[in-house]
Chain A
């Protein structure tokens, strides 16, 4: 995307107000992390149940369906705050390779959701099967790997600095 467009996006009034407020920016960031606590916890327990590791005394459907609305609430909170944080400093973050990795991982997560839609939609079928099918376990394992990668790449965004003209190699601290 042209840098002028990215800069114009950042210069809009909402992201500017967010960026310049000493209080609002860290509040949104805290809510981003709070959402992660909710979403991360719920998705991990969902996947661990599908893998047959956690909450094994309960039917799969009770765990997956019970956690689903809270998982969605957590994701909505995290995503909304994340978009606001990115928007407020988009010109700074745009060239960051870890942001691009994170966005690519979201692409993979959408593909995962489409490919394994059947697993999460028809969990009551899993209750009837004596062992959890390999496909459900694969979906859960991939989900955990993808989301942990999202957290990792997200954290690394803060440790990358654009290379300066006098120092051609990228500096990471």
Chain B
């Protein structure tokens, strides 16, 4: 608690080193490209419009490690960016929206999305599952960008 109270954003390396902040942003972009890109591959298969040579289950298994790696990169660089000015972010309506959608998107990805994709015959559930996943991740990206515009 004492540590928390003593925290002064002015001493955060992200605010004192001119390179630290943009480096975190670049890692954040790379991380979300890997994570969202690999999840999108599964979504396109679930929607029946892409990667049709593989089953959705194969794609989940093939991309599992990359999705997790991308998410790890995002979940390390993101909190670092947040630490540069916690008060600004906590009071930002777009940030709150983004984090809500992000939590939902991650939970969804590792529950319903995975169960449907790993099913032998997902059937009618398939397309709607992929569409919801895409909508969730797109809303995370929009929420992130709008932090700087609200």
Which A positions have Cβ atoms within 8 angstroms of B? Answer: 22, 25-27, 29-30, 33-34, 36-42, 44-45, 48, 54-55, 57-58, 62, 66-67, 69-70, 148, 151-152, 155-156, 158-159, 172-173
Interface of B is mostly: helix
Chain B residue contacts of A172, Cβ below 8 A: 18
B118 at the interface (CB under 8 A from A): no
Q: Given A62-B54, A173-B18, do A41 and B34 touch, yes or no (CB 8 Å)? A: yes
Q: Are A152 and B33 in contact (CB under 8 A)?
A: no
Say yes or no: B41 contacts A29, CB within 8 Å: no
Which chain A positions have C-beta within 8 A of B92?
none
Determine whether B146 belongs to the interface, using a CB cutoff of 8 Å to chain A.
yes
Taking a contact as CB atoms under 8 Å apart, the answer to whether B62 and A38 are in contact is no
List 25 A-B residue pairs with CB atoms under 8 Å apart, sorted by A's residue number.
Answer: A22-B149, A29-B145, A30-B142, A33-B29, A34-B138, A37-B32, A37-B137, A38-B36, A40-B30, A40-B33, A41-B35, A42-B41, A44-B33, A44-B37, A45-B38, A54-B62, A55-B62, A57-B58, A62-B53, A66-B50, A66-B53, A148-B26, A148-B30, A151-B26, A155-B22
| Known interface pairs A41-B33, A55-B63, A66-B54; A30-B18 also in contact (CB < 8 Å) | no
Interface string of B53-83 (1 = CB under 8 A from A): 1100010001100100000000000000000
Tell which of B32, B33, B36, B137 has the most Cβ of chain A within 10 Å.
Answer: B33
Are the CB atoms of B63 and A70 closer together than 8 Å?
no
- How far apart sit A69 and B44, CA to CA, in the bound complex (Å)? 11
- CB of B85 within 8 Å of the partner chain: no
B29 to chain A, nearest CB (A): 5
A104 to chain B, nearest CB (A): 18
Asked if A30 meets B37 with Cβ closer than 8 Å, knowing A62-B54, A156-B22, A172-B18, the reply is: no
When distances are taken between beta carbons in the complex, the residues of chain A under 8 Å from B125 are: none
Give which listed residue, A39, A62, A70, contacts B44 with CB less than 8 A: A70
